[in-house]
A and B are shown apart, each in its own frame.
Chain A
Amino acid sequence: MSPGVSSAKGLISEFLEWFGDLGIFFWQVIRAAVTPPFEFRELFRQLDEIGSKSLPLVALAGAATGVVLSLEARYSLTRFGAKSLLPAAIVFSVIHETGPIITGLVVSGRVGAGIGAELASMKVTEQIDAIEVSAVNPYRLLAATRILACILMLPLLTLAADFCGLLMGWVTQAMVEPVSLHQFINAGFSGASFNDFLPPTFKTMVFGLIIGLVACFQGMRTQGGAAGVGRAATSSVVLSSLFVILADVVLVKLIIIFFP
């Protein structure tokens, strides 16, 4: 067998093994999450850590996205004689796609790295072993709380990103061509329904699951001291970002099919 084929086989094998281990980890987390005692205190702490502390960054990213969209869409729509559709184009772009995906990627960077590094550091310093030896289930205390917090916070953060994106989209447009916020909202949301808003917002719960699961998994299986912590943090961000994007492809198609 040639070295290239052999190497490819090895990579595929490693990839499948990783997925298998992830599946086992996920099963252990689910089992821990649905059996008492429940770690509400830790869950609330993580809701604050993941939600409130990500809010400024997500809001800023959403705002920047709104500005860019407004400028780019104005340029494109003016070329095709459809400038009047600008508010609707901004609104639909933000709430359908850019708001959710930008939130997902920003949170996977901030929270993914944070969770990956924190749990990796705890792993290499035997703190996770100490938790287990204290007869506390680390899957319940550490992983389930973080994953659930990510799932619950992503839609709320997406709302914040959407709001900031639409607001800055209006501001950008108003700077070029005076239009009141009321007019902008009316024009933008005419023809929109809850089907345009709710499914894309709730799809971010899947993003939250991916980010929390991948980051906790990579963190809790770390080996190799400080270098291992660095690898865990990096791989948490890279893998969760990648899987968020891939999941978005599937979810967008499903939303189009089930919420036409």
Chain B
Amino acid sequence: MDTLDQIATQREEAEQNGSAPVLTVEDVHKSFGSQNVLNGITLSVKRGETLAVLGRSGTGKSVLLRLVVGLEKPDSGLVRIHGQDIAGLALDQLGEIRKKMGFLFQHAALYDSLTVEQNVGFPLQHHKKEMSRPEKAARVKQLLAEVGMEGDFAKMPSDISGGMQKRVGLARALALEPDILLLDEPTAGLDPISAAEIDDLVLKLQQEHLMASIVVTHDLHSAKTIANRLALLNQGKVVIEGDFEELQKSDTEFVREFLRHS
């Protein structure tokens, strides 16, 4: 076994026992035209850990998630997934890394020409060719049952509510058993009961699958429920990072203001 293989094996073992981050963002900067969105963000997430990224609207939370999954490239800084810098990868190389990631979009982004079943089966259709059709169908059924949508196979996305679309989106994100789960405002636009149901679902899935997760949200209650650590962004920087108690003890004016209004 050569040196590179040894390093990769050691890294994998460290990630498995939770000692090394699965996902790191190192001093990342991102601008769109003259607008600076992220000004030196550094974060890391280990296996089994959930980091909630909070902040006001427009502070770059969703941009951060898009950088982590490679939909945007940073102007400077590094994004590492399992130790590999993803910024310079070609689309097909990035695809290999994305197979280990699940992403729930803010509005679920279901394929509106496909049924619920076909949406959840989409990653399996493309990446699990070794699975037979009955095996894929069984896996889709299992995923929809996990998110409480087992009765809605044949429905189209336009036939189900926003909350149900998010559940289907979550099932689709889990189809390839990812190591990393990224959730963009999972409870945005939902009523309090549906939001609580999504929180409970995410927490249950986290405990079962032990993924490294980043949840972008402006809902502090949701963040407290599902996250181990919280990071609060303001003007493109991380103002504070820690558990909820540490945030409560903070003397920073912005943090106190944010907590007061949440």
Contacts and interface: CB of A to CB of B under 8 A. Distances in A.
Interface of A: 28, 32, 35, 37, 121-122, 125-127, 129-137, 139
A237 to B, nearest CB: 21
A32 B92 CA distance: 9
A39 to B, nearest CB: 9
A127 B108 CA distance: 9
B107 A126 contact: yes
Interface of B: 69, 71, 91-92, 94-96, 98-99, 101, 103, 105, 107, 109-112, 122-123, 126-127, 172, 176
Contacts of A37: 126
17 contacts: A28-B91, A125-B109, A126-B105, A126-B107, A127-B109, A127-B110, A127-B111, A129-B71, A130-B105, A130-B110, A132-B91, A133-B103, A134-B126, A134-B172, A135-B95, A135-B99, A135-B126
Contacts of B112: 121, 125, 127
Given A35-B92, A135-B99, A130 B109 contact: yes
Interface of A is mostly: helix
Given A35-B92, A125-B107, A127-B111, A133 B126 contact: no
Contacts of B122: 134, 136
Contacts of A32: 91
10 smallest CB-CB distances across A and B, nearest first, come from A135-B95, A126-B109, A130-B109, A135-B98, A133-B103, A135-B99, A134-B123, A136-B126, A126-B105, A127-B109
A139 B176 CA distance: 22
A136 B109 contact: no
Contacts of B95: 135-137
Nearest to A37: B126
Given A28-B91, A134-B122, A135-B123, 19 more contacts: A32-B91, A37-B126, A122-B111, A125-B107, A125-B112, A126-B109, A127-B109, A127-B110, A130-B105, A133-B69, A133-B103, A134-B172, A135-B96, A135-B127, A135-B176, A136-B95, A136-B126, A137-B91, A137-B95
A133 B106 CA distance: 14
A240 B178 CA distance: 42
Contacts of B94: 135
Nearest to A45: B113
A199 B91 CA distance: 38
Nearest to A137: B91
Nearest to A126: B109
A32 B95 CA distance: 13
A127 B98 CA distance: 16
Contacts of A126: 105, 107, 109
Given A125-B112, A127-B111, A137 B92 contact: yes
B111 A132 contact: no
B144 to A, nearest CB: 17
Contacts of B96: 135
A122 B114 CA distance: 12
A152 B94 CA distance: 31
Interface centre among B69, B98, B109, B127 (most CB of A within 10 A): B109
A32 B71 CA distance: 18
A35 B95 CA distance: 14
A153 to B, nearest CB: 20
A130 B127 CA distance: 15
Contacts of A129: 71, 105, 109
A228 to B, nearest CB: 16
A131 to B, nearest CB: 8
Contacts of A137: 91-92, 95
Nearest to B105: A126
A117 to B, nearest CB: 13
Contacts of B111: 122, 127, 130-131
A99 B58 CA distance: 54
